[in-house]
Amino acid sequence: MRYIDLSPEEKSLIESLKSTSSSAPLRRRLECLLLSNGGMQVKSLSRHFGVTQKTIYEWFDLWDKGSITSMPLKGGRGAKKKLRDIPKEEILKLVEDTPRKSKLVLVRISEDYGVEVSEKTLQRFLKICRSDLAKGT
């Protein structure tokens, strides 16, 4: 069985960060450390947090590796935007050149940039562009 032993200073820091953090995953990880320090076993922790025991051990390893600095989530998670590598101005120009013909725009994006996107994706992209223009960014 593995437990996390926290010094009084570490425990105080974790409790403080847990109460002020806006990141729910970070708060869960910190709560896990506190419960482990209180004697809760890994199996019980995994049931409590709805994750595998392996995940609990990974959280413990993060703590062992770098203390509090290694606990937040790393960047780069989640789905990547399909149109991120195409300049916004070029897509807007394609739309201006072929108004009300989104299928033609999709074909041009596919041919010119090798990126397959749906009409909904294009609509969301244009909506964001319009709101950016309205804000002046």
pTM for this model (two decimals)? 0.56
| Residue 107 identity | V
The answer to whether position 82 is within a domain reads: no
What is the rounded distance in angstroms from the CA atom of residue 23 to the CA atom of residue 73? 9
Q: Which two tokens stand for residue 16?
A: 């403080």
The answer to whether position 2 is within a domain reads: no
CA dihedral 25, 31, 36, 42 (to 10 degrees): -40
Sites in the chain below the pLDDT cut of 50: none
Which residues form the domain of 123? 88-135
What's the domain count of the chain? 2
Q: Are 104 and 64 contained in the same domain?
A: no
Contact status, residue 104 vs residue 98, Cβ threshold 8 Å: yes
- Provide the terminal-to-terminal Cα distance of the chain, rounded to the nearest Å: 54
SS3 of residue 119 by DSSP: helix
The answer to whether position 123 is within a domain reads: yes
The answer to whether position 75 is within a domain reads: no
> What would the pLDDT profile of 18-58 be if each residue is shown by its tens digit?
889 888 888 999 999 999 999 999 999 999 999 999 999 99
The answer to whether position 41 is within a domain reads: yes
Q: Are 40 and 94 contained in the same domain?
A: no
